[in-house]
Amino acid sequence: MRPNIRKIMVSTSGGDAPGLNAVIRALVKRAILGYGWEVVGSTAAYNGVMADPMDLIPLDMERVSGLLIQGGTILGTTNRGGPFEFPVQGTDGQWTTEDRSEDLIKRIRSLEVDAVVSIGGEGSQAISQKLFEKGLPIVGVPKTIDNDLSATDMTFGFQTAVETATEAVDKLHTTAASHNRVMILEVMGRDAGWIALASGIAGGADVILIPEIPYDIAKVVERVTTRQRGGIKFSIVVVAEGAYPKEGVPFAQESNIVGRRQPILGGVGRWLVKQIQEATGHETRVTVLGHLQRGGVPCPPDRILATQFGVAAADLVAQGKFGHMVALQNQNIVGVPLTEAIRQYKYVNLDHHLVHTARGLGVCLGD
């Protein structure tokens, strides 16, 4: 029996990604044109619902017009806390966290919202599953530029991030060749090397370092010096922010932001500059691409995938398939249980065809 849906709510949480607005647009259009539902958006993940007074955005056809090509998210987002670890300030001025999930569900029900669509990554969908277990009708949409959710072949935002990183590699080639330098590009990806691997191959990098393959700095130095001896005086290194040396750990610092558990990665590029320059005497520079990978207009493949996900999310709600997340599998848009979506992190498999391609090209992977 299909549920009686009149009103749904959508939220975006975690890091932003190109295509978030495209999902919102598609979800709203499908909800209104296909099912006649009312749609509201909670600002800054669930913070809008938790605010007093609540901060909600009515989403109609006029409000989502033009969103397909707009970067960011009109709802705003946050990667701090969540309903199970909601940041609260005590009377002494100190910040702590507390479980506000029951309050959140009560507030959502008071709005006469029949279902929630949560657009977010692994952490956000873990929250979705816990809310579903508490009785909230919820559907997930996978979002991350890191492409690290195992239940879906691709996440929207990834292709745009790869394009941005590849364009940076292309530009570093010309300045590296002009100055006979080693140029290092540090890209995002957290614990997965998908962005580094894809952009490194697309940009023709000589060295690609990813978290899944702890690297031997001697191997990196050897590749640079071999190119020098062969008359090629420059080299391009693409390194994922989570990459780390053998018998070492990722370069990271603990976050001092209440409600944020994940450490802040970054710094491996600067360390490589020092190591390569000291070992080779070759002038070495680093570019940290950072949040440029998250911003800007989504590329056409991300617009298409985001649109497919938005329509499919509305359809899952209509079918009453709560506790599920939309996913791309074998070129088909399907619904998978949230438990399956968050069960396993999607690392780069060392037998993956992109790894095989990189090795076939003679790219140094640090091992």
Does 367 participate in catalysis according to the annotation? Answer: no
Q: Which of 114, 146, 302, 315 is catalytic?
A: 146
Query: Among the residues of the chain, which ranges form H helices?
Result: 20-29, 35, 47-50, 61-64, 101-110, 122-133, 158-179, 194-203, 217-229, 268-280, 300-319, 338-343, 353-360
Phi, psi of 34 (to 5 degrees): -90, -30
Q: Which helix (H) or strand (E) holds 2?
A: none
Q: Are 30 and 47 in contact (CB under 8 A)?
A: no
Helices 101-110 and 122-133 cross at an angle (nearest 10°) of 70
Contacts of 44 (CB under 8 A, 6+ apart): 55, 75, 76, 77, 78
Q: Are 289 and 200 in contact (CB under 8 A)?
A: no
Map residue 22 onto helix, strand or coil.
helix
Residues marked as catalytic = 146
